[in-house]
């Protein structure tokens, strides 16, 4: 595995075409977005499908006022003994501005993850920017964790092992998982007997005011060009915040000091990525900063590939699930 490639940046970088057009969004005068409703199709939950279906799913309300909810995924085949399933709380991708827990790409991903890892997955639907700028998504993420701790929801009460919980997110969801993890770490003792064992940052979305090498090298990336990422951050960050705000850049002085909270609780952190992703250098830098702060962090960086590849290629997703399975096993063996 290679942490990153060192190919020289393009000598003639070009500016991405209109990022609004690329994202299929229109910014309205009131600050809201009009999104193309057909860009990310949805899939309905299947609480009791054909008996041959390996995974059940259903939607549950978290907060009626903020209209937040979650989709639960439960393997149909239950353990033969009294052992319960580990619990994965998942935050979807979408650059903070797109998608829901019902988006087909995340429904399929979470369903397959529940099956391959033999885990219950709680996929959280959080409020989107710019209608609800950060930290709204972080607030929703924390509320979901507290809801899980206290709910009497049938699937969770009967089948989830609350002493083996993992907080996970992909891309912008990885950013949310990271910040939610830091915030909840401050109250870790109050979560008992519920135990978070680790945090999984799957191709997490971070940035900064100065472009790093991978962003320059992949300026024309067809999946997530830095110009598109810039617009996502512009729409997601609090008004007036720059790109070195700790929400975006966790390696600044203020951001890196927050990492100490993860070190204090002893949770393991997994960071995954690939060197065909413009975000790779940000992810590598995050791992190094965590190591310096004493966080129990491991990384898995692949050669080639691109941002979001695990949602598009089943073989890549299966390879990721093997990494997650090993990480969960190692984190579960640690006594907290």
Angle at CA of residue 137, ends 132 and 140, nearest 5°: 115
Domains contained in the chain, CATH given: 54-332 (3.40.50.1820)
> Within a 10 A sphere around the Cβ of 69, how many other Cβ atoms?
20
306 is catalytic: no
pLDDT tens, position by position, 170-198: 999 999 999 999 999 887 766 777 889 99
Q: Active site includes 307?
A: yes
**72: phi then psi, degrees, rounded to nearest 5:** -100, 140
Question: Over its length of 336 residues, how does the chain's per-residue pLDDT go in tens digits?
Answer: 333 333 333 444 545 589 999 999 999 999 999 999 999 999 999 988 777 889 999 999 999 999 999 999 999 987 766 689 999 999 999 999 999 999 999 999 999 999 999 999 999 999 999 999 999 999 999 999 999 989 999 999 999 999 999 999 999 999 999 999 999 988 776 677 788 999 999 999 999 999 999 999 999 999 999 999 999 999 999 999 999 999 999 999 888 888 989 999 999 999 999 999 999 999 999 999 999 999 999 999 999 999 999 999 999 999 999 999 999 999 988 655
| Helices assigned H by DSSP within the chain | 19-23, 104-117, 136-150, 154-159, 172-185, 188-191, 213-217, 226-236, 253-258, 260-265, 280-292, 309-312, 314-332
300 is catalytic: no
Catalytic residue, from 277, 281, 305, 310: name it: 277
How far apart CA 91 and CA 86 sit, in angstroms, is 17
Count CA atoms closer than 13 A to 68's CA, side-chain side: 23
Q: What is the pTM of this model?
A: 0.93
**CA–CA distances in Å: residue 297 to residues 83, 86, 90, 105:** 28, 20, 19, 28
- How many other β-carbons are positioned within 10 Å of the β-carbon of residue 150? 8
Q: Are 44 and 53 in contact (CB under 8 A)?
A: no
**Which of 103, 171, 172, 299 does the annotation list as catalytic?**
171
Max Cα separation, the chain? Answer: 61
DSSP structure class, residue 42: B
From the candidates 107, 123, 307, 310, give the one annotated as an active-site residue. 307
């Amino acid at each position: 595995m290679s942490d990153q490639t060192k190919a020289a940046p393009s000598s003639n970088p070009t500016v991405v075409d209109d990022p609004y057009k690329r994202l299929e969004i229109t910014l309205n005068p009131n600050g809201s977005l009009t999104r193309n409703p057909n860009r990310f199709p949805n899939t309905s939950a299947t609480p009791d499908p054909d008996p041959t279906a390996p995974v059940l799913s259903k939607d549950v309300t978290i907060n009626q006022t903020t209209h937040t909810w979650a989709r639960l995924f439960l393997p149909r085949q239950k353990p033969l003994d009294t052992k319960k399933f580990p619990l994965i709380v998942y935050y979807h991708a979408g650059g903070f501005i797109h998608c829901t827990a019902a988006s087909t790409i995340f429904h399929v991903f979470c369903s397959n993850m529940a099956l391959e890892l033999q885990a219950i997955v709680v996929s959280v639907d959080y409020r989107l920017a710019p209608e609800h700028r950060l930290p709204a998504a972080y607030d929703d993420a924390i509320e979901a964790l507290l809801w899980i701790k206290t709910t009497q929801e049938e699937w969770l009460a009967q089948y989830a092992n609350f002493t083996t919980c993992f907080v996970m997110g992909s891309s912008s969801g990885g950013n949310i998982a990271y910040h939610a993890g830091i915030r909840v770490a401050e109250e870790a003792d109050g979560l008992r007997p519920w135990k978070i064992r680790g945090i999984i940052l799957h191709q997490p979305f971070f940035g900064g005011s100065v472009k790093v090498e991978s962003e320059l090298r992949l300026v024309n990336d067809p999946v997530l060009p830095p110009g598109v990422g810039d617009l996502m951050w512009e729409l997601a960050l609090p008004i007036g915040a720059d790109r070195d705000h700790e929400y975006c850049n966790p390696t600044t002085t203020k951001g890196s000091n927050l990492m100490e909270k993860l070190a204090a609780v002893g949770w393991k952190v997994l960071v995954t990525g690939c060197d065909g992703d413009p975000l790779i250098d940000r992810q590598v830098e995050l791992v190094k900063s965590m190591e310096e702060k004493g966080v129990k962090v491991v990384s898995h960086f692949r050669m080639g590939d691109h941002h979001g590849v695990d949602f598009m290629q089943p073989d890549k997703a299966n390879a990721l699930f093997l990494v997650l399975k090993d990480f969960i096993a190692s984190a579960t063996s640690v006594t907290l």
